[in-house]
Amino acid sequence: MKAETEITQARSRKIWIALTVMAIIALVAAFFLDQSATAWITAHSSAELKRVMRIVSRVGDWPAHMVAGAIGIAIAFAAGSKAWMRIFLAMLIALALAGLSTRAMKIATGRARPSVKTEARWNGPQLSSKYHAFPSGHTASSTAFFVALFLARKRIGTPLLIRRHLRRDPGSNLRISRRALALYSPQSAFSN
């Protein structure tokens, strides 16, 4: 008879395998459904939709995370909780490091944005922001910010991460908003 820990480990392994398979399917679907999704969004675009998508894009960008972290530090300071002050500070440091590393990779890879009319989508090192579509800054900042919370307080961070990953990945709503604004092409699953 198997011990309870062996059953739990086996179940945990199955869950991770299932999540990995689902992530791979979502990644493959992003490549194959790219053209049809772009056509649907273009056909159903409206001024109101674009306004809403601009708001979604702004809320998911790093300044909103920075404000949330600063408010969290202020509340933790007012409550006298050093542990939560450290957690929010760690979240802000993770956000900053993600931003720095993402910016360096964007400059190094030179992935053209959809609005750029060029044959080559990957252009090598570029300083122009027109060539900074890979990797996604929104995804990097959201992931770094919430993973820091997850690592510090799994009970609180897990629901936030799971809810975001069930929607495919941390930046999926942001990429939808960016696509509606013609700022994103999901030919790379990690681009804005």
Residue 118 structure tokens: 């060029």
Q: What are phi and psi of 69, to 5 degrees?
A: -65, -40
Q: Is the pTM of this model over 0.85?
A: no
Pairwise CA distance, residues 18 & 128, whole Å: 40
What's the confidence (pLDDT) of residue 127? 73
Which residue, among 133, 142, 139, has the nearest Cα to 188 in the 3D structure?
133
Pairwise CA distance, residues 70 & 176, whole Å: 27
Q: How do residues 52-86 score in pLDDT, each as one tens digit?
A: 888 877 777 788 889 999 999 999 999 998 888 99
Share of the chain above pLDDT 70, in %: 72
Q: What is the DSSP letter of 113?
A: P
Residues 6+ apart with CB under 8 A from 160: 146, 149, 150
Average pLDDT over residues 137-155: 81
Which residue, among 133, 81, 76, 142, has the nearest Cα to 103 in the 3D structure?
133
Query: Quick one: 48 exposed, middle or buried, by C-beta within 10 A (0-12, 13-18, 19+)?
Result: exposed
Three-state DSSP at 132 gives: coil
Average pLDDT over residues 5-25: 83
Q: What is the mean pLDDT of the chain?
A: 75
The region of weakest confidence among 19-28, 113-122, 128-137 is 113-122
Each domain of the chain, given as residue ranges in start order, spans 33-180
Pairwise CA distance, residues 154 & 144, whole Å: 14
Top pLDDT among 157 and 124 is at: 124
Residue 167 pLDDT class (50, 70, 90 cuts): very low
What's the confidence (pLDDT) of residue 182? 53
Residue 190 pLDDT class (50, 70, 90 cuts): very low
What's the confidence (pLDDT) of residue 121? 63
